[in-house]
Structure 1
Amino acid sequence: MTRSIVLAGMILVCGCAEPRPPTGGPRDETPPQLVSVDPAHESVNVPPTTQLKLTFSEYVNQASFVRALSITPAPQGRLRMRWRRRSVTIQFAEPLRDSTTYVATLDDEFRDWQGVRLTRPLSFAFATGPVIDQGRLYGRVIDPTKGKPVAGLPVLVFNPGEEVNGIPAYQTQTDSDGQFGLRNVRESDFFILGLQDANRNLIADDGEQFAVPPNPLIKATPDTIEQLLDWVYTKVDTVRPVIERVRATSNRLVEV
């Protein structure tokens, strides 16, 4: 079964002190970009013993990289990371699954060395078999009380019948326009939940706001059109009902 998990606490970071470029000049307000990744996006027949190498457009905050990274399905054991200037090499503790599509995502926790965050998630995929999953999912989350998009909202994707308060099959995040898109997922039906998740525990805690699509199940296919159906952003109703009026309508009936 495909699984996803935020990998903070499961990563061993190696290398010297975090490097920084010389100071001076105008302040950089551009988020870091993924310049290259090896194996390349949507590569197939990737060896299960492969390592990932990511190179960014600028120096980044390494601790934020650890917090922002998620991989689907979750690899076994702890990840080992080696940094060299603007590049990081990720080594897996155990061989990856055979004939499996892996999706790596960096959410808006990721920022450069000056603290500039991503405005939309960065993702790439590869497969350890000859075929890579091509399913797609799209959506947009709107706060009806403000009439504005909800940015930076975690989006959790579950297999039908799975416990919602469990580890999702996939995950991503809304961008600055409240939109999200998932590619390279299995062609299947999914239940999708947008969740505030302030403590990043992947659980719908009391008081956390959430959003769900108009239909309970969304089908991911390669032909899925980018239909940005609005999701309503709300919170769980925890207010108990209160009796406002009681009236006897006969000697045997009471209206409440």
Structure 2
Amino acid sequence: MGLRFRNQQFIFFLLATALLFIYACANPVAPTGGPKDNTPPEVLRSTPSNQSVNFAGDRVVMTFSEFVSLKDMNTQLVVSPPLSNPPEFSLRGKNLTMKFEEPLRENSTYNFFFGDAIVDLTEANPLTNYSFSFSTGPVLDSLSIKGKLLNAFNLQPVKGAFVMLYDSIYDSVPYKQRPYYLARTSETGDFVLNNLRDSKYLMFALTDINGNYMYDMPTEEIAFHDSLIKPVFHGVKLRAAIDSAGVLTDSLIIKTDSVLTVQEDHIHDSISDEHHDHSHIHDAEVLTQGVVIPSYTMLHFRETDTTQRLLKGSVIRKNVLNLVFRFPVRTLTFKPIEPEYSGDWAITEYNTNRDTITIWIPEPVTDSLLLEVADNGIVMDTLDVALTPALKTAARGKAAEIKPEKLTFRPSLKASKIRPDRELRLTFSDPVASFNPEKIRLYVDTILLTPEIGFLDSLQLRFSIKHKWKEGEKYLLEIPDSTFSSIFGHVNDSAGYKFTAITEAESGLLKINIELPVPGNYIIQLLDDKEVLLEERMISENTDLSFNYLSARKYLLKAIFDINGNGKWDTGNYLNKKQPEPVYYFQKEVEMRINWSIEEDWVVE
């Protein structure tokens, strides 16, 4: 009896162990410990196979190299042609099953773009941009579109953006619909859309911040092609094709089943002739007369946001406010609500981009201010600010030290050097109310000079000291205490600056002979190798430019086609079919050395 009971216990133990083992296999969990896994899962096989034809089933089963899980499948998956009901997904072991909830169309190629929805179980590494295709008929759509996505301002490749195709000609579709086809750009900005059917498409690119495949956020960057495009077959280029006269030709031959045909479709169908096409075909492979395999360049940009917003309002010094806006303001007004002011109660200055304004209040009534801020007549915010910054906390047992406020300035000297063709500038922290010109002393050796001095702006923030600097001469500028007085009554501390005028022997000269592509307004910029702007010139015709007194370093040359003549680069607008203003770069870096003179020819294209 006891033996039988023990046997029953043993059998029960074996059954329980087997059930636990089966449950563990069916419900894998991420292991803990060990080195971090950065390898995404791989598809080992699928039923049917990827890009198969004559599919008649109701499900696809994919087997992976490891256990996987699904992440945001409902938003990541894009199916073309679209399905009325999304597929149902299930995981069992290393298999993912996609079951269709409706009959599929006959003789149609289906594309499934999974985005980053399939991840491994251990570290959630995504199988990025995985796509699966099959045809319910005997033919798989085999047309393609390829191209490159570049940043419109600096022509750098854009990585990880979506390039989308729509089978609608309406401009509003990127705002309202998910794309019919899509691909993601590579590290080099290249993209390829495969398995396309023969039709005309609207092409749009998007940096999709919220992951819904629609252009619905003002901070998302976009690109668009000016006209409808048509995919082509990227066929086999067969040399030694013999024409009817027995002469060797170089034609594009397309093999479909057992039939050889020559591709002759025209691939460019313009929506409108009113707009210049700056998202153009590049690196096209011309394989025979009238036959082109195109590659499209699209320019990626952020539209100007029309929803203005005050990002930040702060007190940078006593009685000095700084307002930072989302984008350049048009007509800014600000009204003190409490206390009330009359007349010219404030002095204001915009920065170069007009997205930041500094407000000086020379005679504040109180230590606080309630300020209403409006742009173009629309009230954006009401600020309640203290006009005196909080004092820094002193060490324990010590009283907080209150230093007398001073008017400060900075000179335009770099490494105690000045270019002979430049003036010396002083930029002040606050508008200057008065100054004593007789206190300013400029010497060469011990000889007192009489430079031309004066303010460059109506606010009296920028002060100029002009002199015919001689190469190699050493100068001394002395500005005694209280030479300048601000609108707040603050005065400067004494300061002295020793500097030398640069010589040609310790600098370089760059001459550029410029040939423009078309007449118009161009901004020619000299940049350092980090693309920081150093100098710029405006030209409107072929010309020669010289950049002198350059330090030894690498330089870039950039041209902006200033179409509207406003002196700056302007972004694009999708609904107005306006591409960003074109930019061009000289084809190489210019490496300057001291005492060098370099001359280059630049055909801007």
- The residue that corresponds to 1:168 in the other structure is 179
Residues in 1 aligned to 2:43 and 2:214: alpha-carbon distance in whole angstroms: 29
Is the partner of 1:98 in helix, strand or coil?
coil
CA-atom RMSD, angstroms?
2.9
Quick one: which amino acid aligns to residue 230 of structure 1?
Answer: T
Other-structure match for 1:235: 302
Whether the 8 Å contact between 1:188 and 1:221 is mirrored in structure 2 is no
Taking the aligned partners of 2:227 and 2:164, their CA distance within structure 1 comes to 14
The structure-2 alpha-carbon separation of the partners of 1:238 and 1:132, relative to structure 1 and needing over 3 Å to count, comes to same
**CA 1:86–1:77 in structure 2 vs 1: closer, same or farther (change >3 Å)?**
same
Q: Which amino acid aligns with 1:216?
A: S
- Distance in 2, matches of 1:68 and 1:202, equals 8
Extract unaligned runs of 5+ from structure 1.
1-15, 244-256
- In the TM superposition, residue 205 of structure 1 has moved relative to its aligned partner by 2.2
d(CA) in 2 for partners of 1:234 and 1:69? 26
Aligned length: 225
Q: CA deviation at 1:227?
A: 5.7
Residue by residue, what CA displacement relative to the aligned partner does 1:117-142 show, whole Å, maximum 9, x if unpaired?
34x51112111111111111112222
Deviation sequence 1:63-115 (CA, Å, 0-9, x none): 34554322211223242222112211111111111111101112135432202
Q: 2:222 aligns with which of 210, 225, 234?
A: 210
1:210 is displaced (CA, Å) by 0.4
Q: Distance in 2 between matches of 1:152 and 1:104?
A: 18
* SS of structure 2 residue aligned to 1:232: strand
Q: What SS does the aligned partner of 2:98 have?
A: strand
Distance 1:82 1:117, change over 3 A: closer
Which residue is equivalent to 1:197?
A: 208
Cα distance in 2 for residues equivalent to 1:219 and 1:179: 18
Given candidates 69, 82, 86, the residue that maps to 1:61 is 69
Aligned pairs (5 A) from 1:8-157: 19-20=28-29, 22-47=31-56, 49-113=57-121, 114-118=123-127, 120-145=128-153, 147-157=155-165
Identity %: 30
Higher-Rg member (1/2) = 2
The structure-2 alpha-carbon separation of the partners of 1:206 and 1:79, relative to structure 1 and needing over 3 Å to count, comes to closer
Asked whether the equivalents of residues 143 and 233 of structure 2 are also in contact (C-alpha less than 8 Å), the reply is: yes
Higher relative contact order (CA 8 A, sep 6+): 1
Greater share of strand: 2
Closer/same/farther in 2, CA of residues 206 and 217 from structure 1, 3 Å limit: same
> Partner amino acid for 1:80?
E
* Cα offset, 1:186, TM superposition: 0.6
Q: Structure 1: how far apart are the matches of 2:168 and 2:79?
A: 20
Tell me if the contact between 2:145 and 2:295 (Cα under 8 Å) persists in the aligned partners: no
SS class of match (1:148): coil
